[in-house]
Structure 1
């Protein structure tokens, strides 16, 4: 995200935000796998997944705001 912002071009910034969304989805997948295999407890995974949902919402809102301007 910082790299895209540092390029000072809105399109680049938006692209890096979309990449961050993809990385967030990868993290969510890994958390679900960790939960199913017993590496992470249900409570830990649920807490982290709630955090990823919050971050995802912020990313989507920021991308929408940048697209609207």
Structure 2
């Protein structure tokens, strides 16, 4: 694989970040520096760490950055739960984002396993 842009997990993480921006754009303005900012940063970090790790050209570094990406994903999921529980994220959007997040988590774990088997 020549480019991180070819990775389905990266493409899916980009899609999640875009959906996150659209969703948080509907949040109350008083959340701009709270959950809105935190969710956007975590969502963007998922794809960014996949790209950065791929660019390191070392399997060990790539795995390390994939694990950081996993951490950002879990952070994002935590923000989703909070946003839903405080009533600013409707159940339908919450379920959509959680499902998408779960799929990305599975892809990251599978990629880590595949990379570790090769090394």
TM over 0.5: yes
Structure 2, gaps ≥5 residues long? 1-49
Structure 1, gaps ≥5 residues long? none
Matched, 1:9 2:58: yes
- Structure 2 CA distance for aligned equivalents of residues 22 and 2 of structure 1: 15
- Quote the RMSD (CA, aligned, Å): 0.5
Q: How many pairs align?
A: 69
- Structure 2 CA distance for aligned equivalents of residues 61 and 2 of structure 1: 16
Task: State how 1:1-69 maps to structure 2 within 5 Å.
Answer: 1-69=50-118
Name the TM-score, length of structure 1 as normaliser.
Answer: 0.97
Structure 1 segments of 4 or more deviating over 4 A? none
